Structure 1
Amino acid sequence: MVMTLEMWLVTGILVTAVILFISEKVRVDVVALGVVVLLMLTGLLTTSEALAGFSSTAVLTIGALFVVGGGVMNTGLAGTIGRRILSISGTDELRLIFVLMTAVALLSGFMSDTGTVAILLPAVIMLAKNAKISPAKLLIPLSFGSLLGGASTLIGTPPNIIVSDVLVANGYEPFGFFSFTPMGLILIVAGIAFVLLVGRRLLPDRRQQVDAQRVVTPNELVEEYELPDQLMRLRVRRGSGLIGKKVTETGLGRDFNVTVLKIMRLTQPRQAFDFGRAQRKAAAAKLKAEPVLIDETTTIQLDDILIVKGEPDDVAHAAARWNLGVLPAKPKDEKALLSREVGVAEVVLPRRSRLIGKTLAEVRFGTVYKLTVLNINRPGTEERLNLRDTRLRFGDVLLVQGPWNRIAVLKENWRDFVVMGQPEAMIEAPRQEKANVALVILAGMLVLMITGLTSLTAAAMLAGLAMVITGCLTMDEAYGFIDWRSLFLIAGMIPLSTAMEKVGVVDAVSQGMVDSLGVIGPLAVMAGLFLLTSGFTQVLSNTATTVIVAPLAFAAAVELGVQPHAFLMAVAVAASMAFVTPVASPTNTLVMGAGNYRFSDYAKVGLPMVLITLVLALLFLPLLFPF
């Protein structure tokens, strides 16, 4: 087939997008929006065609499921279920791996893979410690189990919803809720068996190195770093040079390694007293002070009480420089470190983090992320690292302090940070009293999906709305739980697949696959699609991969004259098998720091699992969905 100008343009846009996705030089959602704009500017699609992805049922369904998952997490329901399952695991390594992978696979069939791993991660670390087993023996199985479980139901992972949407768009019956379950169960059983018999022997045993990065609760972190012993109060005296300065302009952290955690401000001005010292203290004791939210605009006023963290000598030097009164901390000042609103967490820098090689000052950490770094812990280094001048390295553990919602933002930036576990959930779920309500809503959604009383989209949107109306989460919290980057990615790549079909790229590629592999038979074509998808998903988002490859699979099936269901499910399954690299899936990245894994650790276990999955897919998919 001769390539037309339109085909070259679409191919060029596709190749450019893939290169940008792999290099991560530009955010994936920005790339996806750029694709939409280019498709309109080049005239390859009309405006309505280019923007159709934003009204796609797949996008709306996945968005609604993010909200439902948010309600389940916000009420503590997910954590409760996970911890109860893990409580039966015991201390034997084989039993631990079996229970762990089974539990995470079960939960991932109905929840976000990443959310499930984040919730269970702290509990798994503690299980490993109690059983005297290296966490490295358990954390890759945790991640892989979540990926296998996501492939077992229609809502387990976005690729499943996308391939079902392709069927609907072409006039076929969509996949049912449990259409993926038979194949999914086969993969789960095979995956667990492989890890138990072979995979666990390929995993590293790095006990001593991992101890430095173990995940603990926020309360344990406060004690481990001896933070209460480093708290003091500074009163802003009349004539202090800090009066009128913004907190970010004081230089306390830069010049003295003193961190301002909280400001207590008098509700009414302190009066000048002419009587004795005892009377002045009694009058001052009657004055009330309220906490002030610290941000980049907060200025320091006369008589403010600064609750700070720092070494005594550093605090004394800062007080002398700025004419501040030094006071001992009160027991209640520990709430400046840890409360329902603020807390502490350990954050590991992954290999691709853009912070590596830079200092905290150079990246303007406090200004950009609205969090305070209290400590830098470098595995293998005992000396205390200077917060101001230390250049960050791969594997450094930052102890950050600030609002829980800002810590949650770091979790979304998984290229630069790996937040250990889900520390905010270790204090208390914001709406634990709504856990039963969330359970009823989740069960109701599953009933609607399984029985087919409503469409998948309608059931998901109804459940998401019910989560908000019943108070399982607020509307603002619902927006926060939605992974907007993923939604924009899907909405931007759907028009690209439309353009590929419209100008004939899909037909050309599928014809090429059929001509080269079709002579062997449909199984050969399906194997080619599986390997293509699996290869892309190790370096690309599984969602983007599915949006690109699914139309090719459908066209190849039509060209061969066979039913498309097996081909499309092969693509969805392959997209979920992101085992080979730590960047293939957020779950792999999430466990990398806590397990102290290397890149090769994933490949050793992941490559055989991909090949096993391929063989099983070729054996069973034609039986489940005959050609």
Structure 2
Amino acid sequence: MPNDLLTVLLLLAAAIVMFAINRPRVDAVALIMLVLLPFTGVLTMSEALAGFSNPNIVLIGAMFVIGDALARTGVARSIGDWLVRYGGDSPWRLLVLLMLAVGFLGSVMSSTGVVAIFVPIVLRMASRSGLAPARLMMPMAYAALISGTMTLVATSPNLVINYELVRGGADGFTFFSFTPFGVPILVLGTLYMLAVQRWLGRQAADTGAEPTRPELRQLVERYGLGNREYRVRVQPGSPLLGHRLGELDLSGKIGARVIVIERGVGRSRRLLPRTDDTELEAGDVLLIDMDDDAADIESLTRTYGVELLPRAGSYYTDRPQDVGLVEVMLPYQSAFVGKTVAEAEAMAQFELSLVGMRRRRGALEPRHLREKTLKVGDTLLLAGPWRAIRRLQKGGEDLVLLNLPREFDEYLPAAKRAPYAVLTLLVVIVLMATGIVPNVQAALIGCLLMGLFRCIDLDQAYRSIQLKSLIMIVGMMPFALALDRTGGVDMAADFLVAVLGASSPHLILGVLFAITVLLGMFIVNTANAVLLIPVALAVAEELGASPYPFAMIIALAASSAFMTPVSPVNTLVTTAGNYRFVDFIRIGLPLTLMVMALSVALVPWLLPLYP
């Protein structure tokens, strides 16, 4: 074995070991390999860094942005809400609808992102139907993995494999080339999970304690807000008109704490910041919190010329997208300690209103709340728009974030832009499917449209790009070139052909599938695809066969990481479903074998070995 090949293999083995033990992080491992490979003399530094100019890296990043825009506008969550509404209490119906929804949604979004969105939805579904979350979490994860076999852009390995095909002189796959394989695999996976679902968990009553994070409903009850919230509309001629909230001091005069201001109706309706500088206009609707005293309400409506609107349930629980609640605690160094609530509100100058306070174990009476002196350890309940609550997550010396309600995870910053997000997604799919423009250009057009329609802004777009994943892909790409130059790819291909050359092509495809799956138990699927696609294409060349079936079998196998929690998708549900490592082996191994058999049967049939 040549020395340079031995050196490259030793580096590859070291990378695989580090991937397997997850020490250090996968992106750090990739960067280490980027630095070390040029020292072998096989590659130059420019060649090692060439992955950063790869159009598929840009395409993957653009799809992260499009996927995040779909999440921010609530497209994905709307599907989840539909599942909760129509799934009923039937375990089999819930499972089928869940797997189909996740599978098809994951075909145009990051599978990891889809699972992150659906974890709270599945917990809600399980609670409502009386099922243990374990009965649904693993099926959801497996559907997300299978979604990678649905379209060209469904997962990073597909794009890496397609790039290698094109680099080798082939035409590459189209957007829907994977769909004839993905749909049967998704159907198979759904039927299999229906059969084994009863082995995944017991009834919800045996699953343990409830989650510790409160719901909005619980906070409303804990602080007695139910009878203190009122909505009033500012009438023409009201003395409030043209005045700033700071000048009016409604809280000091009649104990009316403004929570949020609604302006406009229908599509033009928007929430205004509740700041001292906000000026009121006729028709504005104010959500206020005040003492439960009829005289105060009458004084408000009579003195300030506002119309009291009828109640319809609780604003906090009925409109969780508009307004939220959060508990914070005063630390020792807080500037608010020793100040009255009124003084603290004047100092704070932010959008959130203090609507409740707890000291030791009990909530204090809301009457004369502004006169209370704040002490270290006091727990304050703040109310206002979610965007203001989100800012508290950045931390600070004056307030310590104590309890975010579970509804915070379901806050959709751009819910009204959902139709535009769906339209943009359809445009991207049409452009990719028809080949009018290159895939990467279609994805970038989609990003620009998402920004134009205000589904996402530039800062949010940059945050949505998972640089960790992109660095890992770029760092592993040079290995394919290094192994090719040192003869490692040809050596592996010659060995496989020598051992299996006289065998059935189905057996060769099956062996390649098995090798990909076994290696995928230790490293993430994208790195797996980077390493094995050159070998698969070399085997095709040795046999004089078409490269397409060999590339497709690697892609299908890379998305079949059912047997281990190493996959980021499986990792997300391991804790939520209370699974052990052996659970993935016990449930995943039979599914892997069935998917392998189906893939080996379908691939040569739909993609002939010898054109």
TM-score, with length taken from structure 1:
0.72
In the alignment, the residues of structure 2 paired with residue 51 and residue 519 of structure 1 have an alpha-carbon distance, to the nearest angstrom, of: 40
Q: Does 1:556 align with 2:539?
A: yes
The alignment-based identity, stated in percent, is 33
* CA displacement at 1:191 relative to structure 2: 0.8
Show structure 2 runs of 5+ residues with no match.
226-327, 365-371
Which secondary structure does the structure 2 equivalent of 1:334 belong to? strand
Distance 1:373 1:101, change over 3 A: same
The higher radius of gyration belongs to: 2
CA deviation profile, 1:259-284 (whole Å, cap 9, x unmatched):
54996779xxx9xxxxxxxxxx99x7
Show structure 1 runs of 5+ residues with no match.
230-256, 271-280, 294-304, 316-323, 346-364, 375-399, 403-419
Alignment partner for residue 22 of structure 1, among 20, 23, 28? 20
Superposed, 1:285-434 pairs within 5 Å as: 288-291=346-349, 311=360, 325-326=373-374, 333-335=381-383, 339-342=386-389, 374=402, 424-427=408-411, 429-434=412-417
Q: Does 1:203 align with 2:252?
A: no
Partner of 2:318 in structure 1?
none
Partner of 2:41 in structure 1?
43
In the alignment, the residues of structure 2 paired with residue 548 and residue 49 of structure 1 have an alpha-carbon distance, to the nearest angstrom, of: 17
In the alignment, the residues of structure 2 paired with residue 71 and residue 513 of structure 1 have an alpha-carbon distance, to the nearest angstrom, of: 45
- Name the amino acid aligned to 2:603: L
Q: Kindly indicate whether the alpha-carbon contact (under 8 Å) linking 2:213 and 2:404 is maintained by their aligned counterparts in 1.
A: no
Which secondary structure does the structure 2 equivalent of 1:288 belong to? helix
CA deviation profile, 1:290-321 (whole Å, cap 9, x unmatched):
2589xxxxxxxxxxx9x9977359x9xxxxxx
Q: Kindly indicate whether the alpha-carbon contact (under 8 Å) linking 1:74 and 1:431 is maintained by their aligned counterparts in 2.
A: yes
- Name the amino acid aligned to 2:586: K
Q: Does 1:604 align with 2:586?
A: yes
Partner of 1:212 in structure 2?
209
Aligned residues: 497
* CA displacement at 1:180 relative to structure 2: 0.4
* CA displacement at 1:470 relative to structure 2: 3.1
Q: Kindly indicate whether the alpha-carbon contact (under 8 Å) linking 2:510 and 2:600 is maintained by their aligned counterparts in 1.
A: yes
- Name the amino acid aligned to 1:212: A
Distance 1:327 1:150, change over 3 A: same
CA deviation profile, 1:127-177 (whole Å, cap 9, x unmatched):
222222222111111111111122111111111111111111101011111
* CA displacement at 1:527 relative to structure 2: 1.4
Distance 1:584 1:472, change over 3 A: same
Alignment partner for residue 577 of structure 2, among 595, 606, 616? 595
* CA displacement at 1:111 relative to structure 2: 1.1
In the alignment, the residues of structure 1 paired with residue 549 and residue 605 of structure 2 have an alpha-carbon distance, to the nearest angstrom, of: 9
Distance 1:185 1:292, change over 3 A: same
Partner of 2:484 in structure 1?
501
Partner of 1:356 in structure 2?
none
Which secondary structure does the structure 1 equivalent of 2:207 belong to? helix
Q: Does 1:437 align with 2:420?
A: yes
Which secondary structure does the structure 1 equivalent of 2:383 belong to? helix
TM-score, with length taken from structure 2:
0.74
Partner of 2:158 in structure 1?
160
Distance 1:367 1:493, change over 3 A: farther
Superposed, 1:174-323 pairs within 5 Å as: 174-197=172-195, 199-205=196-202, 207-212=204-209, 214=211, 218-219=215-216, 222=219, 260=331, 288-291=346-349, 311=360
* CA displacement at 1:96 relative to structure 2: 1.3
Q: Please give the root-mean-square deviation of Cα atoms over the aligned residues, in Å.
A: 3.8
Q: Does 1:532 align with 2:515?
A: yes
Distance 1:601 1:523, change over 3 A: same
Distance 1:325 1:367, change over 3 A: closer
Q: Kindly indicate whether the alpha-carbon contact (under 8 Å) linking 1:522 and 1:560 is maintained by their aligned counterparts in 2.
A: no
Q: Does 1:89 align with 2:105?
A: no
- Name the amino acid aligned to 1:342: I
In the alignment, the residues of structure 1 paired with residue 223 and residue 578 of structure 2 have an alpha-carbon distance, to the nearest angstrom, of: 26
* CA displacement at 1:40 relative to structure 2: 1.8
Distance 1:135 1:530, change over 3 A: same
Q: Kindly indicate whether the alpha-carbon contact (under 8 Å) linking 1:264 and 1:290 is maintained by their aligned counterparts in 2.
A: no
* CA displacement at 1:343 relative to structure 2: 6.2
Distance 1:182 1:7, change over 3 A: same
- Name the amino acid aligned to 2:360: E
Which secondary structure does the structure 2 equivalent of 1:342 belong to? helix
In the alignment, the residues of structure 1 paired with residue 78 and residue 171 of structure 2 have an alpha-carbon distance, to the nearest angstrom, of: 37
- Name the amino acid aligned to 1:554: L
- Name the amino acid aligned to 1:527: G
In the alignment, the residues of structure 2 paired with residue 584 and residue 625 of structure 1 have an alpha-carbon distance, to the nearest angstrom, of: 31
Superposed, 1:96-115 pairs within 5 Å as: 96-115=94-113
* CA displacement at 1:526 relative to structure 2: 1.5
Which secondary structure does the structure 2 equivalent of 1:340 belong to? helix
